[in-house]
Amino acid sequence: MWDERYAVDEYVYGTEPNAFLAENAGLLAGPVLSLAEGEGRNAVFLACLGLDVLGVDGSAVGLAKAHRLAAAKGVSIRTEAADLAAYEPPPESYGAVVSIFAHTPSPVRKRLHRLVERSLKPGGIFLLEAYRKAQLGRGTGGPPDADMLMARADLEQDFANCQVLLSREIERDVVEGIFHTGPACVVQFIARKQ
């Protein structure tokens, strides 16, 4: 599905970074792991800030576009094609992990979040924005499966061993390409590994 979605000339989620990520980028230190990176907009933004970034995504087509975007901006990023259901980031390797609209089934998400926490260096930051269940039926982005949507309480439980810096459920306008545009119900979450 994702290779097919990305197999067009345009960047379907745009080339600008996610607004929540951009607002909080000052908290991040490298190296940065960016989950479900897609076509590269967030990894390239972080690389433009001078951070070493690894973008992981299940779509090789999306990641090829990410490299083209990086070249156009005069930066380099690293990428890895991997299924997040099986992906295992190395322990204590990242100054930050970014998860922007990285929607997976809840069992995959719980496993991945446990591994993400382990992959952070002490003091490392986990930053996430995702659609929540109130987004269902809006037609402005996100998966149509409630199990793939997130809740603040679940994130706080998944990262119970971390210091929560921000945890909120809000409605905001998302304008990120043709598939994420309009009023959206999101959860925003930032935690620091102790």
When pLDDT is cut at 50, 70 and 90, the band that residue 143 belongs to is confident
Query: Percent of the chain, pLDDT > 90?
Result: 78
Indicate if the pLDDT at residue 175 is higher than 70. yes
Angle subtended at Cα 183 by Cα 147 and Cα 9, rounded to the nearest 5 degrees: 85
When pLDDT is cut at 50, 70 and 90, the band that residue 177 belongs to is low
Which residues are within 8 A (CB) of 168 and not within 5 positions of it... i.e. 6 or more apart? 152, 187, 188, 189
Indicate if the pLDDT at residue 77 is higher than 90. yes
Indicate if the pLDDT at residue 49 is higher than 80. yes
* C-alpha span between 3 and 17 (Å, rounded): 21
Q: Report all structural domains of the chain as residue ranges with CATH numbers, in order of start.
A: 2-193 (3.40.50.150)
The confidence score (pLDDT) of residue 59 equals 87
9-21 per-position pLDDT tens digit: 777 676 899 999 9
- The model's pTM is 0.93
Which residues are within 8 A (CB) of 4 and not within 5 positions of it... i.e. 6 or more apart? none
Which residues are within 8 A (CB) of 179 and not within 5 positions of it... i.e. 6 or more apart? 5, 12, 13, 141
